[in-house]
């Protein structure tokens, strides 16, 4: 059973009592991420995530890790385009202690200048690491194509220049602007009651400042022509990503697109895996995925292919996209996709951490949670006609974006441009 409380100053608390478990997963969700930054401080949300673990008003860096890991727990955080989450999983009897630690590093990080200077070099090395990994860097190139001159199209961690120039004052201002009660959700799942978490919230946060939820620059979804971006690099394998503008997170056809994605490239039974890898041997890894944001989204196909097979692989992928758009899917394919999707959701929700991530993100982004019964109903209600309609809506060849990292030669580039109609 899910329980939710909105306090007078706007902070939202959501819990799921899983009393048969022995653990608790606790998350502090902040409604800010990479798309909320201006160019001068690109990477600030991610930088601030790092700084929270450098110590707070009450706990030193060493104490934070010792108090959580010392009881068998784990602690971490992540930053995405629209949110930052600080989370821990631990034995249930330590909930009060861990709550106190997380709340302090989230609301009262120290952000000392010497720590900022030191951590900036760490983050710059992190950026360099991902740029050296073509399977990751190709995603960044694709984002640049999808959302040019927009925060969504710029690296989540920032650039070496913006990170190196970031000051403690920049981060303190960013924290004050976004880390307030109206922009935060506290989520917990496991052997814990709603009243227990609510009591801890009342004890710790009765004096925290309120505020409005953060605003962002809206995405431009008006692409009319296909685009290509090539980063030439000596690699043993070509890494490619093909993206097309998808649906926003609250679109009525979200579940139809989820199922289309599974049929297309979401697992080892998918069309792309079967056609590109199993039948033709053109790639070792091949698959598709979907991303949902508040006002835009993306369907992406990604693959790692032999350097000499790049054009053939892209040709097959484009033909498969056209085929599913033209002919739709078969009834047995759709049923398998539904079973796979619901099975994956059910398996994930057995774990306290996955459950916390689900209810926390749902509350932060949509202010509501769907029960498993509602999800089953929505998924089962998707018809063959819905899949074809969504495929025709999303798989628009004039909105294809193609990114590749590898030793692409002039002839391959020419052939790719022809395939994409550029």
pLDDT at 9: 83
What is the residue whose two structure tokens read 């679109």? Answer: 251
Q: Are 212 and 111 in contact (CB under 8 A)?
A: no
Cα separation, 282 vs 276, whole angstroms: 6
Per DSSP, what are the bridge partners of residue 161? none
Q: Residue 128 is encoded by which pair of tokens?
A: 């360099």
The pLDDT, as a whole number, for residue 349 is: 86
Q: What is the pLDDT along the chain (422 residues), one digit of tens a residue?
A: 789 999 888 899 999 999 999 999 999 999 999 999 999 999 999 999 999 999 998 999 999 999 999 999 999 999 999 999 999 999 999 999 999 999 999 999 999 999 999 999 999 999 999 999 999 999 999 999 999 999 999 999 999 999 999 999 999 999 999 999 899 999 999 999 999 999 999 988 877 777 778 889 999 999 999 999 999 999 999 999 999 999 999 999 999 999 999 999 999 999 999 999 999 999 989 999 999 999 999 999 999 999 999 999 999 999 999 999 999 999 999 999 999 999 999 998 889 999 999 999 999 998 888 888 999 999 999 999 999 999 999 999 999 999 999 999 999 999 999 998 88
pLDDT of residue 213: 80
Ordered by where they begin, the domains of the chain are 2-205 (3.30.830.10), 227-419 (3.30.830.10)
- All residues at 6 or more sequence positions from 381 whose CB lies less than 8 Å from its CB, including other chains: 255
Distance, CA of 244 to CA of 253 (rounded, Å): 16
Residue 370: predicted pLDDT: 85
DSSP H or E run through 192: none
Return the active site residues.
49
Helices (H) and strands (E) in the chain, counts: 16, 11
C-alpha–C-alpha distance, residues 155 and 49, integer Å:
15
pLDDT of residue 335: 98
Within 10 Å of residue 196's Cβ, how many Cβ atoms?
18
> Scanning the structure block, which residue is given the tokens 């001068």?
40
**Among candidate residues 340, 345, 348, 337, the one with its CA nearest the CA of residue 372:** 345
Q: Which residue has the tokens 């199209």?
A: 153
- Listed residue (257, 255, 318) closest to 289, CA to CA: 257
Q: Structure pTM?
A: 0.94
């Amino acid at each position: 059973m899910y329980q939710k409380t909105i306090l007078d100053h706007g902070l939202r608390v959501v819990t799921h009592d899983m009393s048969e478990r022995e653990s608790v997963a606790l998350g502090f969700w902040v409604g800010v991420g990479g798309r909320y930054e201006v160019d001068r401080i690109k990477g600030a949300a991610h930088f601030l995530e790092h700084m929270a673990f450098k110590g707070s008003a009450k706990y030193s860096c060493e104490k934070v890790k010792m108090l959580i890991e010392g009881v068998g727990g784990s602690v971490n955080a992540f930053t995405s385009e629209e949110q930052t989450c600080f989370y821990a999983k631990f034995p249930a009897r330590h909930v009060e202690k861990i709550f106190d630690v997380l709340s302090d590093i989230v609301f009262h990080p120290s952000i000392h200048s010497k720590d900022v200077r030191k951590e900036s070099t760490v983050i710059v090395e992190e950026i360099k690491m991902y740029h050296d990994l073509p399977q990751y860097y190709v995603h960044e190139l694709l984002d640049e194509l999808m959302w040019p001159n927009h925060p969504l199209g710029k690296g989540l961690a920032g650039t070496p220049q913006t990170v190196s120039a970031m000051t403690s004052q920049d981060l303190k201002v960013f924290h004050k602007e976004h880390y307030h009660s109206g922009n935060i959700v506290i989520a917990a799942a496991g052997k814990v009651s709603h009243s227990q978490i609510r009591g801890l919230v009342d004890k710790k946060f009765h004096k925290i400042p309120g505020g409005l939820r953060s605003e962002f620059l809206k995405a431009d979804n008006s692409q009319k022509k296909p685009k290509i971006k090539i980063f030439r690099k000596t690699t043993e394998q070509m890494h490619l990503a093909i993206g097309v503008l998808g649906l926003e997170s609250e679109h009525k056809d979200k579940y139809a697109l989820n199922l289309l994605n599974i049929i297309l490239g979401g697992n080892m039974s998918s069309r792309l895996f079967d056609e590109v890898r199993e039948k033709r041997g053109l790639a070792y890894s091949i698959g598709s995925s979907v991303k949902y944001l508040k006002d835009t989204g993306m369907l992406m196909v990604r693959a790692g292919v032999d350097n000499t097979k790049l054009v053939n692989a892209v040709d097959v992928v484009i033909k498969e996209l056209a085929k599913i758009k033209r002919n739709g899917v078969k009834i047995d394919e759709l049923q398998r996709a539904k079973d796979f999707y619901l099975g994956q959701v059910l398996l994930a929700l057995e774990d306290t951490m996955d459950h916390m991530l689900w209810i926390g993100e749902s509350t932060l982004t949509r202010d509501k949670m769907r029960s498993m019964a509602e999800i089953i109903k929505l998924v089962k209600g998707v018809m063959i006609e819905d899949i074809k309609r969504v495929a025709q809506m999303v798989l628009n060849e004039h909105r294809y974006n193609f990114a590749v990292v590898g030793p692409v030669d002039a002839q391959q580039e020419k052939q790719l441009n022809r395939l994409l109609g550029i």
